[in-house]
């Protein structure tokens, strides 16, 4: 089974294969299912993967100054015109999140 970040790279390159269309809401559902499948198979998340699942939404809420939204996909959609632009923005935000998390771990 692919790791989360390798899978995300494949989804970014070919969203139709995994999601049917480039959609931030569909991506959220896919990733929730992926996390569930891994837990059912007894495949533990790496530290970086746990950080994504536990901290990406709070990090995004802080960046956007919004605390009342229930998912990172909805947070992203607040500033986008549609699902496709939300999908693209997710990967931009993910890159920022990973860079900041890496610099914190290195410090």
* Average pLDDT for the chain: 93
Q: What is the pLDDT of residue 19?
A: 98
d(CA 89, CA 61): 14
pTM, two decimal places: 0.91
d(CA 101, CA 107): 10
pLDDT in tens, 35-82: 999 999 999 999 999 999 999 999 999 999 988 888 999 999 998 989
The token duo for 45 is 């998340």
What are the residue boundaries of the structural domains of the chain, listed by start?
4-106
Nearest to 87 by CA among 15, 6, 9: 15
């Amino acid at each position: 089974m692919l790791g989360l970040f390798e899978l995300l790279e494949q989804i970014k390159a070919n969203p139709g294969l995994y999601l049917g269309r480039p959609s931030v809401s569909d991506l959220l559902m896919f990733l929730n299912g992926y996390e569930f499948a891994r837990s059912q198979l007894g495949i533990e998340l790496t530290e970086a993967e746990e950080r994504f699942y536990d901290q990406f939404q709070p990090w995004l809420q802080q960046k956007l100054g919004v605390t009342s939204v229930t998912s990172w996909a909805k947070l992203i959609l607040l500033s986008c015109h549609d699902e496709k632009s939300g999908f693209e923005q997710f990967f931009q935000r993910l890159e920022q999140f990973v860079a900041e998390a890496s610099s914190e771990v290195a410090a």
